[in-house]
């Protein structure tokens, strides 16, 4: 077994704290990674605090993982010791159903997607995430990080990056399209960068006046402060596609009213409470309310390669393990520009 140290949540209400655990002995197809950096995703907080009602404890969160390959099993072909490697939100799936074969392992038809943490692997053991110094994973779920990218700033691409890249691709966001991104957090700032890079006219919706100037620098053609009276009426029926990256309760009917006929509002944010949607909001204009979860392994590698080519990384604030609970509280207050990354040297 691989003795590992990290930080874990022991319950929904206690601070996360130092924890020792073991990863499986690496098998023939496994890669052992010494983790260098792990991003802090709002999903870590939702799950650490059991806001989705499915938490398994003890929980070592973290699914934006970048590190160095320490060793590889005898059948591993894609990686060798010393390579820079990354792991996102999944570490396994059935790999046999049509959906897995199509490279959409996050939607495994047999429900056998194994998430990086807060899940059980095929042997029934808890999986442990990136808030620790090692991880063991089958090479089929390990990604390559382009060498020109800063490894710390690339870590958030593994969740915030792919979760926004995938729906923007799915809905053909590009030149001639008007796209809205709601919420300038970890996901939102990556969605903004990708929509801009794909050539769409991109409007950023924010509740934070302090983020307006940054949003313009990150690629927004226009920024709308949603605290101002009458902001929605000015934009009624003008958007082709809106990506909702908000982590807390908010009114979806307002965003549906901004779509053109046949436009799509796609949810990636997962607030604790269900949303209320009026039938009128979708029937008038034949609008589509959709959602999207992360992205498959093939598309995640495509996204990383796109980022390498276009020099796209996350805007990060480095933090240390002794400040991780404080970082979580700041994320909840929308007070991070725009993703915290844990430096594993501080363990």
How far is Cα 202 from Cα 179, in angstroms, rounded to an integer?
Answer: 5
Conformation bin of residue 294: beta by default, left when phi > 0, alpha when psi is -120 to 50:
left
- State the residue number with the nearest CB to ligand NAP: 185
Q: Which partner from the list Zn ion, ligand NAP, none does 97 bind, CB cut-off 5 to 8 Å by kind?
A: Zn ion
Nearer to ligand NAP, 10 or 208 (CB): 208
In the region spanning residues 17 to 46, those forming contacts with ligand NAP, defined by CB under 6 A, are: 41-43, 46
- Binding-site member from 97, 232, 277, 282 for Zn ion (CB under 5 A): 97
What's the per-residue H, E or C state across the chain? Answer: CEEEEEEEECCCCCCCEEEEEEECCCCCCEEEEEEEEEECCHHHHHHHCCCCCCCCCCECCCCCEEEEEEEECCCCCCCCCCCEEEECCEEECCCCCHHHHCCCHHHCCCCCCEECCCCECCCCCECCCCCECEEEEEHHHCEECCCCCCHHHHHHHHCHHHHHHHHHHHCCCCCCCEEEEECCCHHHHHHHHHHHHCCCEEEEEECCHHHHHHHHHCCCCEEEECCCCCCCHHHCCCEEEEEECCCCCCCHHHHHCCEEEEEEEEECCCCCCCCCCCHHHHHCCCCEEEECCCCCHHHHHHHHHHHHHHCCCCCEEEECHHHHHHHHHHHHCCCCCCEEEEEHHHC
Residue 311 beta carbon to Zn ion: minimum distance, rounded to whole angstroms: 23
Whether the Cβ atoms of residue 52 and residue 78 lie closer than 8 Å to each other: no
Closer to ligand NAP by Cβ: residue 21 or 231? 231
With CB cut-offs between 5 and 8 Å by kind, which of ligand NAP, Zn ion, none does residue 108 bind? Zn ion
Residue 100's binding partner among ligand NAP, Zn ion, none (Cβ under 5 to 8 angstroms by kind) is Zn ion
Stretch that binds Zn ion, among 70-78, 91-99, 201-209, 222-230 (CB under 5 A): 91-99
Does 270 help bind Zn ion (rule: CB under 5 A)? Answer: no
Q: Are 204 and 184 in contact (CB under 8 A)?
A: yes
Nearer to Zn ion, 163 or 206 (CB): 163
CB of 89 to ligand NAP, least distance (A): 7
Query: Is 211 among the residues that bind ligand NAP (CB under 6 A)?
Result: yes
Residue at shortest CB range from Zn ion: 41
Find out whether 241 and 177 touch, Cβ atoms under 8 Å.
Answer: yes
Which x/- pattern, by CB under 5 A, does the window 14-43 give for Zn ion? ---------------------------x-x
246 near ligand NAP (CB under 6 A)? yes
Select the span of 21-29, 137-145, 203-211, 310-318 touching ligand NAP (CB under 6 A). 203-211
Q: Could you say whether residue 245 binds ligand NAP (CB under 6 A)?
A: yes
Q: Is 293 in the site for Zn ion (CB under 5 A)?
A: no
From the list 118, 103, 110, the residue with the least C-alpha distance to 16 is 118
Residue 248 interacting partner from ligand NAP, Zn ion, none (CB closer than 5 to 8 Å by kind) = ligand NAP
94 binds, among ligand NAP, Zn ion, none (CB under 5 to 8 A by kind): Zn ion
Please, which of residues 276-315 interact with ligand NAP by CB under 6 A? 292-294
- CA 293/CA 171 separation, integer angstroms: 14
Residues 213-242 that bind ligand NAP (CB under 6 A): none
Q: Which of residues 151-210 bind Zn ion (CB under 5 A)?
A: 159
Could you say whether residue 59 binds Zn ion (CB under 5 A)?
no
CB-wise, 43 or 99, nearer to ligand NAP?
Answer: 43
Residue with smaller CB distance to Zn ion, 75 or 110? 110
**Residues at the contact surface with ligand NAP, assessed by CB under 6 A:** 41-43, 46, 159-160, 163, 183-188, 206-208, 211, 245-248, 250, 268-270, 292-294, 331, 334
């Amino acid at each position: 077994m691989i003795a590992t140290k990290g930080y874990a949540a022991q319950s929904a209400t206690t601070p996360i704290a130092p924890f020792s655990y073991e990863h499986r002995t690496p098998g023939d197809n496994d890669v052992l990674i010494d983790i260098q950096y792990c991003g802090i995703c709002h999903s870590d907080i939702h799950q650490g605090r059991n806001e989705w009602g499915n938490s398994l404890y003890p929980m070592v969160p973290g699914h934006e993982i970048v590190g160095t390959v320490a060793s590889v099993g005898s059948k591993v072909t894609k990686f060798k010791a010393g390579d820079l490697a990354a792991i996102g939100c999944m570490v396994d799936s059935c790999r046999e159903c049509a959906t897995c074969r199509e490279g959409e392992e996050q939607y495994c038809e047999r429900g056998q997607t194994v998430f990086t943490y807060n899940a059980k692997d095929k042997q029934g053991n808890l999986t442990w995430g990136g808030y620790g110094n090692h991880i063991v994973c089958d090479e089929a779920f390990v990604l390559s990080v382009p060498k020109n990218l800063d490894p710390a700033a690339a870590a958030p691409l593994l969740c915030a990056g792919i979760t926004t890249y995938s729906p923007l691709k799915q809905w053909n966001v590009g030149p001639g399209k008007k796209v809205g991104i709601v919420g300038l957090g970890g996901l939102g700032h990556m969605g903004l960068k990708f929509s801009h890079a794909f050539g769409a006219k991109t409007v950023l919706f924010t509740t934070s006046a302090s983020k307006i100037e940054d949003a313009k620098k990150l690629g927004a053609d226009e920024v709308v402060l949603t605290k101002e009276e009458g902001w929605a009426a000015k934009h009624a029926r003008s958007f082709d596609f809106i990506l909702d990256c908000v982590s807390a309760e908010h009114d979806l009917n307002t965003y549906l009213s901004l779509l053109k006929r046949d436009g799509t509002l796609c949810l990636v944010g997962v607030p604790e409470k269900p949303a209320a949607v009026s039938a009128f909001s979708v029937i008038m204009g034949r609008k589509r309310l959709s959602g999207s979860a992360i992205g498959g392994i093939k598309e995640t590698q495509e996204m990383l390669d796109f980022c390498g080519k276009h020099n796209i990384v996350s805007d990060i604030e480095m933090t240390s393990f002794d400040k991780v609970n404080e970082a979580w509280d700041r994320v909840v207050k929308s007070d991070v520009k725009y993703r915290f990354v844990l430096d594993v040297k501080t363990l």
